[in-house]
Structure 1
Amino acid sequence: MWFKNLQIFQLKDTENFSSTDLIAKLPEHPLRECGSQDEFTFGWMPLIRSSEQWAISSNQCMLIRAGKEEKVLPTAVVREELEAKVAEIEIVEGRKVGRKEKADIKEELVFTLRPRAFSKRSDIWAYIDTKAKLVVLNSTNAGMTEQLFKLLQTTLGSFAMVPLQAQVSPASIMTDWLMKNEVPASLETGDECEIQDASEDKAKIRFKSLEPLSEDVTRHLSQGMSVKNLALRWSEKMSFVLNDDLTLKKVKFDDTLKENAFNDSQGGTLSDMDANFALMSLTIRDFFESYQLWFEIADE
């Protein structure tokens, strides 16, 4: 399991957190199928479908997986049914249907159609690093993040994690890196960059297959634009696109790490996952030490 996105939170009150308690309670809050009128359900999932393995622990890190099942009711279907119903009322009763009545009809149609809608599942992987006091998510989706946080609180009774708080704007720091050609020694710039101006409409320019330190980019920065995201490579171990909200996307771990994980595995899906997770979590722990310094992230 190699994460492709990274959203990092800091774990508070680690003294009252017990990974043993969490592992024991995961099966008590499983993902269940949507009922006839459920918009969605959210719960824990085994790491591998149809297995009883709910977590993997390695180097004071614990890997877990949650899932969401939601009813998919295509907008076009609802719109078509609504238009037909409104037209029928207007023809039969000879009057216009107002906005509020139309909203009420739509709500009733959704209630009627939802039991016949098909369900789809999606998942979110995360791990808790009690040594580094981090919670790391393989997602930058705000909705899934919120549901995962709520599920952790429900499962444990309380769970305190907070977003990373940079003392200086990440956008201004990345802008300075490019303007002054002073990227940290452990980083190399990639070939992708997006910049944004400070106006109300926040106009953006995206550069691809172009060195971010080139004059094409720095000229715009000198005119007041700032870096919104930037492709980087860290210590020849991982590459990523760093966003101004401190999330990382398009994360790719070096092939050497993956080869080492393959050599450490005893074979089999769970063993492969365990070996991958061990190396990935240690790499991210090391990375976070540098990350914290670059953006002056306060310790919790």
Structure 2
Amino acid sequence: MFFKTLQIFQLKEGAALDFSAIEQALKDHPLRKIGSQDEFTFGALPLIRNSECWSLTSNDCMLFRFGKEEKNLPSSVVREELETIVAAIETIEGRKVGRKEKADLKEELIFSLRSKAFSNLSDVWLFIDKKAELLVLNTTNAGMTEQSFKQLQAMLGSFPMVPLQAQVSPSSIMADWLMKNDVPASLETGDTCDLQDSSEDRSSIKFKKLEPLSEDVTRHLEQGMSVKNIGLRWMDKMSFVLCDDLTIKSIKWDDALKEQAFNDSQGGAQSDLDANFALMSLTIRDFFQNHFAHWFEIYTQ
């Protein structure tokens, strides 16, 4: 399983993480079935459905998975039902429904509808790299990220990590690469770039199918626009979109890497997962320690 998105956090220096304790905590905090009045539930999931495989470890890295089950109660359904109830009250009783009464009616309606709503299951994959002192999530969804941190704290009592912190604005560094036509030696520019205006309206321009560096891009940068994200390729490992918040999206792993993982596998779902994770985690460690952290002069904890 190769991650398509990377959101990277640093473990605080000296953080003592016991993989065997985390393995047990995953088993002790599984995702429970959602109740009739639960908005959602969140907990650990086995890596492979209907198995007892809760984690994998390789090269001082540990892979695990969290799941979220939530009721699918669209706001449009609630709004339509509420409007019907309010209209009936105003017609039958000949009076206007006030703001507080409407809020109370909405709360009662949600309580009633939630028990009948279908539920959806989503998941997030994570791994801890003790050697590189990193936590890597395969999501940039703020809600899933927040719940993952809460789950780690609930499982372990505390989880010492911090967001990546660059000494210079990532957007300005990427703009400098484009303006000077001078990306780091291990990188090649891709064919996408999104720019954003610094004015209040925050207008943006999306460039697609570019030449390595387009005069249209540099002209807008000279006029004060900033780089929101840029498509890049790292050696013969992967292509991706690098964002100004240091998240990495739309990753496409090189076929040679996937073939190597396939050859390393002994066959079967768990062996495939193990081989993929071993290769991916080492590649991400190399990418971060020897390249990414230096491009942006990231503080080390």
Is the shorter-chain TM-score for this pair beyond 0.5, marking a shared fold? yes
Q: Which residue of 1 aligns with 2:146?
A: 146
Q: Which residue of 1 aligns with 2:79?
A: 79
Asked if structure 2 preserves the Cα contact closer than 8 Å seen for 1:2 and 1:276, the reply is yes
Asked if residue 24 in structure 1 is aligned to residue 24 in structure 2, the reply is yes
Instruction: Assess, with a 3 A threshold, how the Cα gap between structure 1 residues 274 and 45 changes in structure 2: closer, same or farther.
Output: same
What is the one-letter code of the residue matched to 2:92?
A: V
- In structure 2, C-alpha distance between the alignment counterparts of 1:14 and 1:59, rounded to whole Å: 18
- In structure 2, C-alpha distance between the alignment counterparts of 1:68 and 1:121, rounded to whole Å: 6
Cα shift readout 1:150-188 (whole Å, capped 9, x = no counterpart): 100110111111100000000000000000111000000
Provide structure 2 residue ranges, at least 5 long, that are not aligned to the other structure: none
SS at match of 2:71: strand
Asked if structure 1 preserves the Cα contact closer than 8 Å seen for 2:227 and 2:244, the reply is yes
Q: Which residue of 2 aligns with 1:293?
A: 294
Instruction: Assess, with a 3 A threshold, how the Cα gap between structure 1 residues 212 and 243 changes in structure 2: closer, same or farther.
Output: farther
Q: How does 1:158-169 map to 2 (within 5 A)?
A: 158-169=158-169
Cα shift readout 1:188-207 (whole Å, capped 9, x = no counterpart): 00000000111111110000
Q: Which residue of 2 aligns with 1:126?
A: 126
Q: Which residue of 1 aligns with 2:213?
A: 213
Q: How does 1:1-300 map to 2 (within 5 A)?
A: 1-211=1-211, 213-289=213-289, 290-300=291-301
SS at match of 1:145: helix
- In structure 2, C-alpha distance between the alignment counterparts of 1:211 and 1:34, rounded to whole Å: 50
What is the one-letter code of the residue matched to 2:37?
A: Q
- Identity over the aligned pairs, expressed in percent? 70
Cα shift readout 1:190-231 (whole Å, capped 9, x = no counterpart): 000000111111110000111351101111111111111000
- In structure 1, C-alpha distance between the alignment counterparts of 2:247 and 2:98, rounded to whole Å: 44
What is the one-letter code of the residue matched to 1:2?
A: F
Asked if structure 2 preserves the Cα contact closer than 8 Å seen for 1:193 and 1:212, the reply is no
Asked if structure 2 preserves the Cα contact closer than 8 Å seen for 1:66 and 1:148, the reply is yes
Instruction: Assess, with a 3 A threshold, how the Cα gap between structure 1 residues 36 and 13 changes in structure 2: closer, same or farther.
Output: farther
Cα shift readout 1:52-85 (whole Å, capped 9, x = no counterpart): 0000000000000000000011222212211111
SS at match of 1:16: coil
- In structure 1, C-alpha distance between the alignment counterparts of 2:272 and 2:286, rounded to whole Å: 22
- Aligned residue pair count: 300
- In structure 2, C-alpha distance between the alignment counterparts of 1:96 and 1:291, rounded to whole Å: 60
Asked if structure 2 preserves the Cα contact closer than 8 Å seen for 1:14 and 1:130, the reply is no
How far has the Cα of 1:91 moved from its partner? 1.0
SS at match of 2:52: coil
Asked if structure 2 preserves the Cα contact closer than 8 Å seen for 1:72 and 1:117, the reply is yes
- In structure 2, C-alpha distance between the alignment counterparts of 1:34 and 1:212, rounded to whole Å: 50
SS at match of 1:116: coil
Cα shift readout 1:237-294 (whole Å, capped 9, x = no counterpart): 0110000000000011110000000000000000000000000000000000210000
Provide structure 1 residue ranges, at least 5 long, that are not aligned to the other structure: none
How far has the Cα of 1:97 moved from its partner? 1.0
How far has the Cα of 1:15 moved from its partner? 4.3
- In structure 1, C-alpha distance between the alignment counterparts of 2:71 and 2:92, rounded to whole Å: 33
RMSD: 0.9
Asked if structure 1 preserves the Cα contact closer than 8 Å seen for 2:15 and 2:160, the reply is no
Asked if structure 1 preserves the Cα contact closer than 8 Å seen for 2:196 and 2:226, the reply is yes
Asked if structure 2 preserves the Cα contact closer than 8 Å seen for 1:47 and 1:65, the reply is yes
SS at match of 2:115: helix
What is the one-letter code of the residue matched to 1:161?
A: M
How far has the Cα of 1:13 moved from its partner? 4.8
How far has the Cα of 1:17 moved from its partner? 1.4
Cα shift readout 1:128-161 (whole Å, capped 9, x = no counterpart): 0000000000000011001001100110111111
SS at match of 1:257: helix
Asked if structure 2 preserves the Cα contact closer than 8 Å seen for 1:258 and 1:276, the reply is yes
How far has the Cα of 1:100 moved from its partner? 2.0
- TM-score, normalising length: structure 1: 0.98
- In structure 2, C-alpha distance between the alignment counterparts of 1:225 and 1:211, rounded to whole Å: 19
Asked if structure 1 preserves the Cα contact closer than 8 Å seen for 2:237 and 2:254, the reply is yes
